Amino acid sequence: MLGLEHLFDGWHLLVLVLLGLFIFGPDRLPKAIADGVKMLRNLRNMARNATSDLNRELGTDLQLEDLNPKALLRKHLLSEEDEAAIRRPLEQLYREVQDDVKGIKNEATSVAESVKSPSVEAGTTPAGPRKAAFDLDAT
């Protein structure tokens, strides 16, 4: 999550203030800022209350970051052994795919080098002499 200190550094804060002045005007800007801050506080309190309610209902120590389904499953439903058992075949498959990709890359590199080989005469291709793209006698 992006911290507020990063969001409201120098230029960003200046641009937000100028934008607020143009939209709300100098008379209503302080009230708009106060309303925005109040709304953020209410949202934080609602999130805090929701996590505390979930903690109480589930009987666990649930954090706001744990509401991501992957993190929730990993932390509360799977033991470390279960997670390792699930990861093991996938890691082996990942290594096999990596090896296959490296093999294909090496073969493609060797084919590309054989095509660029300096033993081929200038003006010819490995299939034979190069033909003109158009008929010179037709013009």
Two tokens, residue 33? 């800022």
pTM above 0.75, yes or no: no
Q: Stretch 71-89: mean pLDDT, rounded?
A: 75
Task: Give the closest residue to 16 by CA, choosing from 32, 27, 1.
Answer: 32
Which pLDDT does position 117 carry in this prediction? 66
pLDDT of 25-35, one tens digit each?
888 888 988 99
Reported as a single tens digit per residue, the pLDDT across 45-72 is 998 888 788 778 877 776 766 667 777 6
Q: Is the pLDDT of residue 1 over 50?
A: no
DSSP 65-129: GGGSHHHHIIIII--HHHHHHHHHHHHHHHHHHHHHHHHHHHHHHHHHHHHT-TTSPTTEETTEE
